[in-house]
Amino acid sequence: MGAALAAHVGADVTAAGGPAAVAGRKMSPKITTELLKQLRQVMKNPRYVQEPVQAYIVPSGDAHQSEYIAPCDCRRAFISGFDGSAGTAIVTEQHAAMWTDGRYFLQAAHQMDSNWTLMKMGLKDTPTQEDWLVSVLPEGSKVGVDPFIIPADQWKRMSKALRSAGHDLVPVKENLIDTIWTDCPQRPCKPLITLDLSYTGVSWRDKIVALRSKMAERKVMWFVVTALDEVAWLFNLRGSDVEYNPVFFAYAVIGMNTIRLFIDGDRMMDPAVREHLQLDSTLEPEFKIQVMPYGSILSELQAVGAGLSPKEKVWLSDKASYALTEAIPKAYRYLTPYTPICIAKAVKNAAETEGMRRAHIKDAVALCELFNWLEKEVPKGTVTEIVAADKAEEFRSQQKDFVELSFATISSTGPNGAIIHYKPLPETNRTLSVNEIYLLDSGAQYKDGTTDVTRTMHFGTPSAYEKECFTYVLKGHIAVSAAIFPNGTKGHLLDSFARSALWDCGLDYLHGTGHGVGSFLNVHEGPCGISYKTFADEPLEAGMIVSDEPGYYEDGSFGIRIENVVLVIPAETKYNFKNRGSLTFEPLTLVPIQTKMIDVNLLTEKECNWVNEYHRRCREVVGAELERQGRHEALRWLLRETEPLARVQ
Amino acid sequence: MGAALAAHVGADVTAAGGPAAVAGRKMSPKITTELLKQLRQVMKNPRYVQEPVQAYIVPSGDAHQSEYIAPCDCRRAFISGFDGSAGTAIVTEQHAAMWTDGRYFLQAAHQMDSNWTLMKMGLKDTPTQEDWLVSVLPEGSKVGVDPFIIPADQWKRMSKALRSAGHDLVPVKENLIDTIWTDCPQRPCKPLITLDLSYTGVSWRDKIVALRSKMAERKVMWFVVTALDEVAWLFNLRGSDVEYNPVFFAYAVIGMNTIRLFIDGDRMMDPAVREHLQLDSTLEPEFKIQVMPYGSILSELQAVGAGLSPKEKVWLSDKASYALTEAIPKAYRYLTPYTPICIAKAVKNAAETEGMRRAHIKDAVALCELFNWLEKEVPKGTVTEIVAADKAEEFRSQQKDFVELSFATISSTGPNGAIIHYKPLPETNRTLSVNEIYLLDSGAQYKDGTTDVTRTMHFGTPSAYEKECFTYVLKGHIAVSAAIFPNGTKGHLLDSFARSALWDCGLDYLHGTGHGVGSFLNVHEGPCGISYKTFADEPLEAGMIVSDEPGYYEDGSFGIRIENVVLVIPAETKYNFKNRGSLTFEPLTLVPIQTKMIDVNLLTEKECNWVNEYHRRCREVVGAELERQGRHEALRWLLRETEPLARVQ
């Protein structure tokens, strides 16, 4: 989804958009005078702060550094009205300022009232948060922040800058927004889904064994799991506490002989969950899971930290919160950008791969139905972007093991297609027509896998120029999908392949080319990706799954993107330099690429064969499933749409 | 040259070789017992050290962080016997250890006696210098190093590590190796060459004006020029103090109203130099050059440092020596990875570009003569690698404005070709034959430009496999050379284009694809390059000059490399996204690529046309020069070698 990647997988944030980076959101400003007055009171209230704080920082994000957050964690949106996916608010006694990036200048300006100053990040004259604080604060000020929300590396940078100017960054234990947010929604605590071996391929016990062996390699005694998808993956559990992401609020602390799971609610009363986690069985002590309250993570971690012997290290992500990082004395911390779970999770096993294949076949069935339906309905002039998105969801929900969407559907026609992270809203909702290009970027969570596919269609007759641009994008898509590269190659080395055909004609797109995709987990996951900026990505290896989604966007006119989810597989090559072995991609997405949009004369023979072979597989695999499900009209549509291209020599 | 780049332009050091990374150097170990004894004595001698040092570090390199160094700076080779281009020696009271990388394990093992322990960098169990020091030193030790040789960033890292273990890194003013090196060669101090506007395009005065405007932009008052090629470029002077690099030992300190040049010897007595620098003219004070002794840089800089008012910053490269960096109080330092001179120098003006063109035409004339000669002589079995290299130099030296070679010629046949940085020596010298591939990587300094070209030839009948590999390398070479990419693209984004054809067949090469090339200056220069590792490179812009040199190496059999020096030029494209403009490359090197080695059936039509168009230009441009120089036999060779390829459809 969202051709651009999430920040943590190396997106170009000036062009990329998070889930909420949409055009045309609610644009009336929120009146915040009273709220700010209340916040400034609690900033001085000894009930909440040891000493008054002269400034309070409200970051985006939750205590797990999640990309998607629950309503109860939308504190920055609550205090300011601005609900874009990225932004940091700082409130002082006199000022209230909001830092956000180029995607959100317009939206933030509309959603915030005159109490707020917009700080446009990326512009030359915009001060950093630190510089601004130093310029407005009285001498020797205290700046407060919730230590659970701020990642340790950010804390370090800001604390250093403030200290050198004579101020102090101080942790405020109670979140001050929560103290004034009287109608704050409850933290979700929804039932869990247990996944058996047929979905996960590896039991949670074996995952713990593998994790402990990684810990032994690095000589660490404890590992702290802070990312929600890592907790879910480790225990083969799923939840629905956060929209689109099948995760649940929890932490885990894994020792060499202990397992502690920090989770709230009566979810652990569910017999299926108890059985799955073997909570009531007689187990070897090292596999006995101790269930503890979600809120006790800090005190438990502090106890761990206090009991360490010399050389006993504790492994944490370097993006973990300041609060948890600080619980471990500095000398005992072992911080890495990617955790061993993040890396293990990225390499899908046979069961996960098979699940992803099944999910993509079902997803293709739903999209064949949708496009067949659109083809009939669009000419009537009654299908809007929202109607189309709803219809896509309806068809998907008919498929087995459907759980929910994997992100907000990007359903956009004509000029809306050029807004990379568009989401149709009543005030922007455009009607599909036979005169405009339609771009649909959508996906779903099935119990066996996560999908994310973009197709760009024309329901009338595309212009020669539209076809030309589409064909360059297709050439880039194929160049990545068919690339053969040595084992150990990092994904960012493939990014230029996706752009070469566009570059040849002076065109380009301002986002990355691909992101990692979870297995019935987050649609964006690290540590791999394909982007000109992702230099911290881990090498690609067989079993990893990424998206391949080049595009081209013409402001005010149209947007084109072609996205498949692809699996990294071993490649057979004629030679084998230094015995390194080679890799390539296999498309998991099997939805026809509209041949009407292709200018066949711009394709090489190899590219033409790629399209024909891809469509042959769509026919064979998705055709069989359409047949099995008795969806004969959609099958006829598929057969017509997958006729081989005839290349003019 | 040397397909791999120098470390400072992002080379893969495990595969790359510096100038001395050759097979078959002098391999008898140097007996160092007595030398080490003497060194350990001076490490305690109050004449040289304030307090005894328990360890002394001997880095590679000179006070200017040069890639190529003068004999008087080869201190690490003197103390250890190991003369590879990269390595750091550390001597303690009990131990002597040498850190070097994979290129040099064998060579170092052979050249050092049993007093030395080889520390194989890159292997898992090899300790870092800091860790090793901490493990062997008695409590509270002093570790000495020459503060002029160690770059500031390295000092910082090592000092921090030692301090946290209770030791101290201390600067030892007098170089301790020099105190025991009784027959140390003198620091070279050769006459200077002045370059007039027809070569440089811009006067040194205008370069100073431009530099001061960059300084004003960044609000710095002083700029310290420490790199030798930057001093040479700034003053439009050249020297010959270092082999292959037309530079001279000097520093410069540029203020907003002053120019100080630190240089030794009677070179400033040369009337041509005095005239060039207008030393005896009545000039505006801000262009008056104060000439000072080379050795006075530190005290002068300390005086500058002591006289700074608040907000007056001094600009230094972050690779400048610890001694010079430390002369400026920390609060006044402005450090950048690339200096404004480094960046300005990389973008060649019209005069420099024309000079580079002329130099490359002359170089092509010499190589046409050479290859024509080789073709006749090789079958006789009397041409060795050294003979061929000497002959190449002889033909080059016949050309106008020839100064010297730009690096040690890599003349290698058969299995020697697979040693990427091979230099023929008597004990490895192989005879060229009609049965083996011959690889020649060579270049020269002409007063109007620097060349660097690699051609791979067969003087008999190449095998189908050799042709196949050559053709993949050629496809990679063309993919880079013909690439069109947006203005502002960094060179590392093009690296994969060079590998794609090799990757498709499971092949690859373990070095970068290109490096910046100076204009009658160093054959390796920053800040641009084309490498999978060069993430700190500056964006490519029109006027920059880089090499394009993919290869393929089969250990024990043969090596293939095809290298042109190419100029970044604007590209005409059909469209122009966001008005960014596009760039491409124009080959400056105009030497035929042996068509006998090409398997035409593996080329696309576009690639075939590229070769034919390239050869048409070689004929037209170099042919005319051969004609003018009356070199009719070489002209006939050129005409035959540039016959168009006929592609079988």
Q: d(Cα A24, Cα A18) in Å, to the nearest integer? A: 15
A292-308, pLDDT tens digit by residue? 999 999 999 999 999 99
pLDDT band at B605 (very low <50, low <70, confident <90, very high): very high
Contacts of B483 in chain A (CB under 8 A): 500, 503
| Chain B interface includes A613 (CB < 8 A) | no
Q: How far apart are CA B327 and CA A247, in angstroms?
A: 56
B495/A484 Cβ within 8 A: no
> Are A384 and A431 in contact, with CB atoms under 8 Å apart?
yes
State the pLDDT at residue B1.
58
Q: What is the pLDDT of residues B317-370, one digit of tens each?
A: 999 999 999 999 998 999 999 999 999 999 999 999 999 999 999 999 999 999
pLDDT for res B32: 97
Spell A571-593 as b/e; 16+ CB within 10 A means b: bebebebeeebbbbbebbbbbbb
Q: Give yes or no for A494 touching B (CB within 8 A).
A: yes
Low-confidence ranges of chain A (pLDDT < 70): 1-27, 534-535, 648-649
ipTM above 0.90, yes or no: yes
Q: In terms of DSSP bridges, do strands B142-145 and B168-171 run parallel, antiparallel, or are they unpaired?
A: parallel
Give dist(CA A420, CA A4) in Å, integer. 8
What's the alpha-carbon Rg for chain B, to the nearest Å?
25
Q: Does A508 touch chain B (CB under 8 A)?
A: yes
Alpha-helical (H) ranges within A277-349 are: 297-306, 322-326, 340-346
Indicate yes or no: CB of A503 within 8 angstroms of CB of B497.
Answer: no
Q: Taking Cα atoms as reference points, which of A406, A423, A409, A351 lies closest to residue A522?
A: A406
User: With contact defined as beta carbons under 8 Å apart, do B586 and B484 qualify?
Assistant: no
Contact B560, B470 (CB under 8 A): yes
Instruction: Using an 8 Å CB-CB cutoff, list chain B residues near A483.
Output: 500, 503
Report d(CA B193, CA B359) in Å as an integer: 17
E-state strands within A244-359: 250-255, 259-263, 289-292, 313-317, 333-336
Which of A494, A495, A506 lies closest to B582 in CB terms?
A506
Of B455 and B311, which is predicted with more confidence? B455
CB contact B496 to A (< 8 Å): yes
Q: With an 8 Å Cβ cutoff, are B497 and A500 in contact?
A: yes
Chain A residues whose beta carbon lies within 8 Å of the beta carbon of residue B14: none
Q: How many CB atoms are located within 10 Å of the residue A620 CB?
A: 11
- Closest to B144 in 3D by CA, of B197, B91, B189: B91
C-alpha span between A269 and A290 (Å, rounded): 14
Which 3 state secondary structure label does DSSP give A581?
coil
Q: Are B422 and B412 in contact (CB under 8 A)?
A: yes
Radius of gyration of chain A (CA): 25
pLDDT recorded at residue A320? 97
B532/A503 Cβ within 8 A: no
Tell me what the pLDDT averaged over chain B comes to.
Answer: 94
- Of the candidates A184, A232, A182, the residue with the CA atom closest to the CA atom of residue A207: A232
Report pLDDT for A649. Answer: 54
Does residue A465 sit at the B interface (CB-CB below 8 Å)? Answer: no
State the Cα–Cα distance between residues A383 and B152, nearest whole angstrom.
Answer: 65
Q: Tell me which chain B residues have a C-beta less than 8 angstroms from the C-beta of A649.
A: none
**DSSP annotation string for B218-273:** TTEEEEEE-SHHHHHHHHTEE--SBTTB---SEEEEEESS-EEEEE-SGGGG-HHH
Q: Which two tokens stand for residue A523?
A: 């649609």
Give the one of B503, B577, B578 whose C-beta lies nearest to A484's C-beta.
B503
Distance from C-alpha of B483 to C-alpha of A472, rounded to nearest angstrom: 15
Phi-psi region of B433 (alpha: psi -120 to 50; beta: other; left: phi over 0): beta
Option in A500, A571, A577 nearest B507 (CB): A577
B443 has pLDDT over 70: yes
Per-residue model confidence (pLDDT) at position B646 = 86
Residues 200-259 of B with CB under 8 A from A: none
Subunit contact B506:A574, Cβ cutoff 8 A: yes
Beta partners for A514? Answer: A530
Distance from B83 to chain A by nearest Cα, in Å?
29
B491: nearest CA in chain A?
A: A496
Which residue type is seen at B619? R
Query: Could you tell me where the beta strands, DSSP code E, fall in B426-581?
Result: 437-442, 444-446, 449-450, 453-458, 485-486, 514-516, 525-530, 545-548, 551-554, 558-561, 564-571
Close Cβ partners of A393 (under 8 Å, ≥ 6 residues apart): A405, A409, A444
Nearest chain A CA: its distance from B502 CA (Å): 9
Q: How large is the average pLDDT for residues B103-107?
A: 85
Nearest CA in chain B to A507: B577
How far are the Cα atoms of A14, B68, B347, B486 from residue B580, in angstroms, in the given order?
Answer: 16, 38, 18, 7
> Within 10 A of A334 (CB to CB), how many other CB atoms are there?
17
Could you say which of A500, A506, A604 has the minimum Cβ distance to residue B576? Answer: A506
State the average pLDDT over residues B51-74.
Answer: 96
Which residues from chain A sit within 8 angstroms of residue B504, using beta carbons?
484, 573
Binary contact (B577, A508; C-beta < 8 A): yes
Q: A505 and chain B: CB distance < 8 Å anywhere?
A: yes
pLDDT(B560) > 80: yes
CB contacts of B575 in chain A (<8 Å) are 505-507
Q: Are B60 and B87 in contact (CB under 8 A)?
A: yes
Q: Locate the DSSP E strands across A220-258.
A: 220-225, 237-238, 250-255
Among A490, A575, A579, A580, the residue to mutate for chain B (most B Cβ within 10 A): A575
- Tabulate helix, strand, coil % of chain A (nearest 5): 40, 20, 40
Taking the model in full, what pTM does it have?
0.93
Distance from CA of A508 to the nearest CA of B (A): 7
- Please report which helix (H) or strand (E) contains residue A510, including its range: none
8 Å CB contact of A503 and B494? no
Burial of B449 from C-beta contacts in 10 A (0-12 / 13-18 / 19+): buried
Q: In this structure, are residues B529 and B495 in contact, taking their beta carbons and an 8 Å threshold? A: no
Which residues of B fall within a CB distance of 8 Å from A506? 484, 486, 571, 573-577, 582
Residue A578: which region, alpha, beta or left (left: phi > 0; alpha: psi -120 to 50)? left
Beta pairing partners, A545:
A567
Chain B residues inside the 8 Å CB shell of A484: 503-504, 506
Q: Does B394 touch chain A (CB under 8 A)?
A: no
> What is the per-residue pLDDT for B6?
39
Which residue, B468, B226, B464, B473, is CA-closest to B336?
Answer: B226
Closest C-alpha among B573, B574, B606, B588 to residue B479: B606
Token couple for B215: 């300084």
Pairing of strands A558-561, A514-516: unpaired
Query: How is residue A444 written in tokens?
Result: 């779903």
Quick one: pLDDT band at residue B16, thresholds 50, 70, 90? very low
Across the interface, do B575 and A503 touch by the CB < 8 Å criterion?
no
Nearest to residue A145, comparing CAs of A265, A239, A63, A22?
A: A63
Nearest CA of chain B to the CA of A178: how many Å?
42
Strand partners, A259: A254, A289
Facing B575 at nearest CB: one of A484, A507, A535? A507
**Per-residue pLDDT at B28:** 84
Query: In chain B, what residues touch A493 (CB-CB under 8 Å)?
Result: 495-496, 532
What confidence score (pLDDT) does residue B25 get? 53
Q: How many other C-beta atoms are found inside a 10 Å radius of the C-beta of residue B136?
A: 17
CA B347 – CA B353 distance, rounded (Å): 9
User: B14 pLDDT exceeds 60?
Assistant: no
Q: Which H or E element spans position A105?
A: helix A105-111
Q: Half-sphere exposure (CA, 13 Å, Cβ side) for A254?
A: 26
Q: How far apart are CA A333 and CA B294, in angstroms?
A: 48
The DSSP element (H or E) to which A159 belongs, if any, is helix A152-164
Note the pLDDT of residue A10. 34
Mind telling me how many Å the CA of A327 is from chain B's nearest CA? 22
Closest CA to A467 of A596, A374, A554, A563: A596
Contact check, Cβ <8 Å, A500/B493: no
Q: How many Cβ contacts (< 8 angstroms) between chains A and B?
A: 71
| Stretch B102-131: mean pLDDT | 91
**Residues in B 569-608 with any Cβ partner in A closer than 8 A:** 571, 573-578, 580, 582, 604
Cβ–Cβ below 8 Å for A493 and B580: no
Residues from chain A that touch B497, judged by Cβ atoms under 8 A, are: 496, 500
- B483 at interface of A, judged by CB pairs closer than 8 A: yes
Residue B355 main-chain phi, psi, to 5 deg: -60, -45
Pairing of strands B514-516, B525-530: antiparallel
Local confidence band at B5 (pLDDT 50, 70, 90 cut-offs) = very low
B43 has a pLDDT exceeding 80: yes
Residues of A in contact with B573 (CB under 8 A): 504-506
